[in-house]
Chains A and B, each alone.
Chain A
Amino acid sequence: MGNIMLDDSSKPSNRRARTESGKGRALSRRSFMKAGAAIAGAAIGSEVIGAPTIWAQEIKDIELRHVGVSYSVVKAIGDQAAKDLGFKVTMQNLDTSAAINRFITQPNSVDIADLEGWQAKLAAKRGVIQGIEAKKIKEFDNFLPIFTKGELDGHKIPRQGISPYEALYIEKPDSTELHDGVTDWLTNVPQVYNADSLGYRPDLVGHTVTEWKELIDPKFKGKAAILDVPAIGIMDAALCFESAGLIKYGNKGNMTKKEIDFTCDKLIELKKDGQFRATWTTFDQSVELMAAGEVVIESMWSPAVAAVRVKQIPCTYAAMNIKDGKEGYRGWCNGMGLMKHLTGKKLEAAYEYMNWYMSGWQGAFVSRYGYYSPVPSTAQKFMTPAEYAFWYEGKPAPEPVTDPYGVPMEKAGTVRDGGSFVERVTNISCWNTLMDEAAYMNKRWNDFKVA
């Protein structure tokens, strides 16, 4: 049969045979094309655009509840994620203490928990989060080694307080203790971090502030404010007292009873002297204090400084490089944790969401009010070269810089306070924390408030 096909294709019998086998070939070709198209489509869909494809229909009904503090869990980010990914993302804001209380007492009401390092330690201990597979996080290898290895350019990051590296790894997906060292399972995926210092009015202060002790300087009596969030305010105070040479702490992030007593007694003394105009708990309050002229120097967070500058009031975020073992920034890092109850499709959606977070849009967004992304390489893709030079490299702005919502903030030529991010991050002296003596510290802090 084969011979006849070869030399005479017009004979009916041959034609039939030809068609049959031709059809057979066509069928297999067609099915091959279909399969190939599907694979190609999936490949294109998941790799290039970043949106789930084959199960797009099923995930439309999924809603992820991302709960956390207002400077990290921003509605605009959630809206963009929903747009890019196809499922609903609801952002809910709570202050730090309310958030950790919610994660621990009502874990089923949250899907993605916004966790600081010390909160990740707590959440793991209480068994409300599940381990995140490092392999499933696409950009994990591009994460700055600060988080994954605890160092940057060979420089070991200080571990006073609970550093994000220390709080990152657990041995198994359901472990309740942190693991010191690299493993395959994470407690959280770091998504935003910064090095905090003091904010001040350069026009009213008159000189550049580079030391924490300026906050407690009698020159600014009645015009200073300090942060009143449990465990964070005391570290700002500790940095001030260490800067003024009054005491040397073993670990500012885990003080002994005696150190706590010293810090709080000194704070009470300052308060009675009238040093502090007020204390603040939410960052809007810090913006109001600075913008309304109530204070000229205070603990501040980066977006607050940005918000004040947007009002055309000069405000500088002090550069506190480590000098003589003193000064340095207070670092913090927020990450996304997966609550234990997530399974199946919702879990898949959660991983998609976390990968989207690391793909750059969010990194660029938070950079515009002074925060950093743990994966600067992807954030860079979504920022103009001018913005990247200003925010990350510490170079003078080649053109006016806007805040995340497009409002112009800085004129061309200004340099980001503190310089490049490498410079700022390597000068972090301690990290936000939960101390062993937290209960005692809380009591003494209440003494300060009552004084």
Chain B
Amino acid sequence: MTLSRPLVSWLYVSPLMLVLIPFFVLPILVVLVASVFETDGFGSLIPTFTLANYANVLTSGLTFNLYFETVKFTVLTWFFTLILGFFVAYFLVFHVRNQLLAIGLFLICTVPFWTSNIIRMISWIPLLGKEGLINSALLHLGFIHEPLGFLLYSSFAVVVAYVHQLTIFMVVPIFNSMARIDKRVVEAAFDVGASRFDIMRLIIVPLSKSGIALGSIFVVSIVMGDFFVTKVMSGGGSASVVGAFYEDISVLQYPSAAASAVVLTLVLMATISLILRTVDIRKEITR
């Protein structure tokens, strides 16, 4: 007796459901419910139904500024990780002849992730500080006469830290996509006289679109959901969306933090579904 197809599919996804529902869906529902409650300022939640929290979040100029800052970092990070990730993947796929060597180098890229993320971020501070290595070297060589202040506790430092952390998330999906490109197509293009640039533009980029999109999803959701890197590397000078509602929790304003969280989740879901339109997931994971 064979089970009907729909039932079989449900069975396939049930383990994942069993994990996602209690640990993901339920907490989100709790946050959703908390966002329509009120608080007495001392941390208790008063069960009512009020949209005041959402009204506050959506009409406040602060929200606009916060999203602007966060989106700014997201776009800059995305841009630089894309460039770095694309070229690293390109090198690994097309310029390294030996398959084994390619995989070996690829694994080496992941070695930094064997240490704590936070330590890797904080180690930028002695490098970029006014008395840090870079400034000392530049002063010593005579290129500058005063330490460069913008290297640390600035937007520059934030983007550097993010790019450092997230390039690998771009390298992996793009590597994956590029490796599927049939090398014979590239060879054929060469043979008919296409320039390197044309090959890049007309063959490689379109065929790695899925990889780029997947990598972008990783980068965008991580940067928009992060506050720690922004807080530490900007020296508290920049705020982020998540940072703001973390502060709300510090003063026990749970409903307004919940409302901000729901708004952020919706924004992210919209962004990601837009990105997903350019990706053919089936093609990526089959074959």
Give residues in A with beta carbon < 8 Å to B: 96-98, 100-101, 104-105, 122, 125-126, 222, 225, 228, 230-231, 271, 276-281, 288, 292-294, 434, 436, 438-439, 441-443, 445-447, 449-450
A126 CA to B40 CA, complexed, in Å: 11
20 additional contacts (CB under 8 A) given A101-B249, A438-B253, A449-B244: A96-B250, A97-B249, A97-B250, A101-B43, A126-B44, A222-B149, A230-B251, A278-B237, A281-B231, A288-B125, A294-B152, A294-B153, A439-B41, A439-B248, A439-B256, A442-B251, A445-B247, A446-B239, A450-B65, A450-B239
Q: Do A450 and B236 contact each other (CB < 8 Å), given the known contacts A125-B42, A126-B43?
A: no
Show 7 residue pairs from A and B whose CB-CB distance is below 8 angstroms, ordered by the A residue.
A97-B249, A97-B251, A278-B235, A279-B237, A438-B253, A447-B62, A450-B62
- Does B164 reach chain A (CB closer than 8 Å)? no
| Residues B249 and A446 in contact, CB atoms below 8 Å apart | no
| Residues A279 and B149 in contact, CB atoms below 8 Å apart | no
A105 CA to B45 CA, complexed, in Å: 11
| Residues B235 and A277 in contact, CB atoms below 8 Å apart | yes
| Residues B252 and A104 in contact, CB atoms below 8 Å apart | yes
A292 CA to B133 CA, complexed, in Å: 12
Chain B nearest CB from A425 CB (Å) reads 28
Chain B nearest CB from A293 CB (Å) reads 5
A281 CA to B153 CA, complexed, in Å: 14
Chain B nearest CB from A270 CB (Å) reads 12
| Residues A276 and B249 in contact, CB atoms below 8 Å apart | no
Chain A nearest CB from B70 CB (Å) reads 10
A52 CA to B250 CA, complexed, in Å: 39
A278 CA to B130 CA, complexed, in Å: 13
Of listed B66, B129, B235, residue having the most chain A CB within 10 A? B235
A225 CA to B152 CA, complexed, in Å: 14
Q: Which residues of A contact B239 (CB under 8 A)?
A: 446, 449-450
| Residues A292 and B129 in contact, CB atoms below 8 Å apart | yes
Closest A residue to B149 by CB, please name it. Answer: A222
Closest A residue to B39 by CB, please name it. Answer: A439
Chain B nearest CB from A381 CB (Å) reads 39
A442 CA to B149 CA, complexed, in Å: 29
Q: Which residues of A contact B176 (CB under 8 A)?
A: none
- Does B221 reach chain A (CB closer than 8 Å)? no
A228 CA to B42 CA, complexed, in Å: 21
Q: Which residues of A contact B126 (CB under 8 A)?
A: 292
- Does B280 reach chain A (CB closer than 8 Å)? no
Q: Do A449 and B237 contact each other (CB < 8 Å), given the known contacts A122-B43, A230-B247, A281-B231?
A: yes
Q: Which residues of B contact A293 (CB under 8 A)?
A: 130-131
Encode B201-237 as 1/0 by CB contact (under 8 A) with A.
0000000000000000000000000000001000111
| Residues B237 and A442 in contact, CB atoms below 8 Å apart | no
| Residues B43 and A450 in contact, CB atoms below 8 Å apart | no
Q: Which residues of B contact A292 (CB under 8 A)?
A: 126, 129-132
Encode B8-43 as 1/0 by CB contact (under 8 A) with A.
000000000000000000000000000000000111
- Does B238 reach chain A (CB closer than 8 Å)? yes
Chain B nearest CB from A261 CB (Å) reads 13
Q: Which residues of B contact A450 (CB under 8 A)?
A: 62, 65-66, 69, 238-239
Chain B nearest CB from A119 CB (Å) reads 11
Of listed B126, B244, B247, B251, residue having the most chain A CB within 10 A? B251
Contact partner of A277 (CB less than 8 A), chosen from B42, B153, B252, B256, is B153
Encode B125-148 as 1/0 by CB contact (under 8 A) with A.
110011110000000000000000
| Residues B252 and A100 in contact, CB atoms below 8 Å apart | yes
A305 CA to B129 CA, complexed, in Å: 20
Of listed B126, B247, B252, B256, residue having the most chain A CB within 10 A? B252
- Does B60 reach chain A (CB closer than 8 Å)? yes
Q: Which residues of A contact B65 (CB under 8 A)?
A: 447, 450
Q: Which residues of B contact A100 (CB under 8 A)?
A: 250, 252
A436 CA to B43 CA, complexed, in Å: 13
A222 CA to B148 CA, complexed, in Å: 12
Q: Which residues of A contact B131 (CB under 8 A)?
A: 292-294
Give residues of chain B (241-274) contacting chain A, Cβ–Cβ below 8 Å: 243-244, 247-253, 256
Closest A residue to B153 by CB, please name it. Answer: A278
Q: Which residues of B contact A436 (CB under 8 A)?
A: 41
A450 CA to B256 CA, complexed, in Å: 18
| Residues A126 and B42 in contact, CB atoms below 8 Å apart | yes
Contact partner of A271 (CB less than 8 A), chosen from B43, B237, B243, is B237
Give residues of chain B (78-134) contacting chain A, Cβ–Cβ below 8 Å: 125-126, 129-132
Contact partner of B243 (CB less than 8 A), chosen from A125, A443, A449, is A449
Of listed A122, A277, A446, residue having the most chain B CB within 10 A? A446
Q: Which residues of B contact A271 (CB under 8 A)?
A: 237
A443 CA to B243 CA, complexed, in Å: 12
Instruction: List the 10 shortest-distance A-B pairs measured between CB atoms, nearest first.
Output: A278-B235, A97-B250, A279-B236, A449-B239, A450-B239, A278-B153, A228-B236, A450-B65, A125-B42, A104-B43
Q: Do A280 and B236 contact each other (CB < 8 Å), given the known contacts A122-B43, A126-B42, A230-B250?
A: yes
Q: Which residues of B contact A446 (CB under 8 A)?
A: 62, 66, 239, 243-244, 247
Q: Which residues of B contact A96 (CB under 8 A)?
A: 250
A100 CA to B248 CA, complexed, in Å: 13
Q: Which residues of B contact A442 (CB under 8 A)?
A: 247-248, 250-251, 253
A439 CA to B231 CA, complexed, in Å: 20
